[in-house]
């Protein structure tokens, strides 16, 4: 009788431990829609940029996705060349590069990431007019060509 109670108790304890481990593992798992979320935040549209910027401002809400939010902004190039605020465009570009590299799908997404970067830069330049806009557009084109070639 003692053996049966001991065996039953051990089985119940083992089941409890397995349930806790399985629950913790499921809770710690990265959501299955991570590739879709990543894709939605790395498109060329302004709405994609805005969704990413909102998520970046509230990273804790996305912690289950284990995204890499780190950035060195515009790397060794000025973040705000000639006063043009390219910092956030560079941060989103880094986000795309780092997370697609981690997912092992960087090569097939690089061209779109670079295009999204260029569109972000052009939206920055759209705030200006005249010669200032022309200068900004030229700087944006140079940054885009650099990431296309060396990124």
The single residue of 55, 93, 118, 124 carrying the catalytic annotation is 93
Tell me what percent of the chain is helix, strand and coil, each rounded to the nearest 5. 75, 0, 25
For the record, the structure tokens of 11 come out as 């089985």
CA distances for 118 relative to 4, 86, 92, 133, angstroms? 71, 10, 11, 15
- Give the integer Cα–Cα distance in Å for 126 and 129: 7
Instruction: Establish whether 93 is a catalytic residue.
Output: yes
Confirm if 80 and 121 have CB atoms less than 8 A apart: no
The residue behind tokens 């941060």 is: 91
Which residues carry out catalysis? 93
């Amino acid at each position: 009788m003692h053996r049966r109670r001991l065996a039953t108790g051990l089985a119940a304890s083992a089941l409890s431990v397995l349930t806790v481990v399985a629950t913790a593992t499921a809770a710690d798992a990265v959501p299955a829609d991570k590739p879709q979320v990543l894709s939605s935040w790395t498109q060329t549209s302004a709405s994609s940029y805005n969704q990413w910027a909102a998520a970046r401002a509230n990273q804790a809400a996305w912690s289950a996705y284990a995204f890499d939010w780190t950035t060195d902004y515009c790397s060794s190039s000025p973040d705000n060349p000639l006063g043009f605020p390219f910092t956030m465009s560079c941060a989103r570009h880094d986000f795309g590069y780092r997370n697609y590299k981690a997912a092992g799908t960087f090569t097939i997404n690089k061209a779109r990431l670079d295009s999204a970067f260029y569109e972000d830069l052009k939206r920055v330049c759209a705030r200006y007019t005249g010669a200032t806009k022309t200068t900004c557009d030229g700087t944006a084109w140079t940054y885009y060509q650099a990431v296309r070639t060396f990124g």
